[in-house]
Structure 1
Amino acid sequence: MNLLPGIKVELVVCEVPVELVVDTAKKVCHTGKVGDGKIFVYPIANAVRIRTGEEGEIAIIDPED
């Protein structure tokens, strides 16, 4: 089995237009070689911060901000 080294990037976007994020990711990640990756776009029904039980947008906001 031939495995290529790589990274995984996950983004949750709530205020930036999705098209802008997708276009930027395509430009940044494109090498033209096998393994450039795939982009999946789907709605997020909810987010839960396990430590505090917070749900929704507040669960993904950094408390230090």
Structure 2
Amino acid sequence: MKLITAIIRTEQLAAVEAGLEGFGVKGLTVSEASGYGRQRGRRQTYRGASHTVNRIPKVRVEILAEDLEAIRIIEVILDCAHTGEPGDGKVWFTTVDQVIRVSDRAEGEAAI
């Protein structure tokens, strides 16, 4: 199993969720995130005062997937989150040794 993690633009979340739903993803977790990459923040003006915002708001999307589906799910995320501009985000996956669903203690792929 793989845990797919994507940090994407907040405004791309609806497109990513629609793409994942169309692919058949059964569940995901979304949380707020903030940070910076190579773009290193941005300049904003508020009430005439200019300042640099170092951490840019993003969303973190996490999906548990079977090994064979992971690469295709990543492709869906990449296609749906892409704007072509710096700051589109990052996607990575890690191997998960075991998953146990709390409600019925189902294990492994049955718990996804």
Question: 1:63 is matched with which residue?
Answer: none
| Residues 32-61 of structure 1: CA deviation (Å, up to 9, x unaligned) | 22221111122210123456655433443x
Matched, 1:37 2:98: no
Which deviates more, 26-35 or 44-53? 44-53
Structure with larger RCO (C-alpha < 8 A, sep 6+)? 2
Q: 1:18 to 1:49 in 2, by over 3 A?
A: closer
The alignment yields a C-alpha RMSD, in angstroms, of 2.3
Q: How far off its partner does 1:2 sit?
A: 2.1
TM-score between the two structures when normalised by the length of structure 1: 0.63
Instruction: Describe how 1:21-32 pairs up with structure 2 within 5 A.
Output: 21-32=73-84
Provide the C-alpha distance between the structure 1 equivalents of 2:57 and 2:77, rounded to a whole number of angstroms.
Answer: 18
Where in structure 1 are there 5+ consecutive unaligned residues? Answer: 61-65
Sequence identity (%): 28
**5+ residue gaps, structure 2:** 1-52
The TM-score with structure 2 as length reference comes to 0.42
What is the CA–CA distance in structure 2 between the aligned matches of 1:58 and 1:19, rounded to whole Å? Answer: 20
Stretch of structure 1 that moved more, 48-57 or 8-17: 48-57
Higher strand share: 2
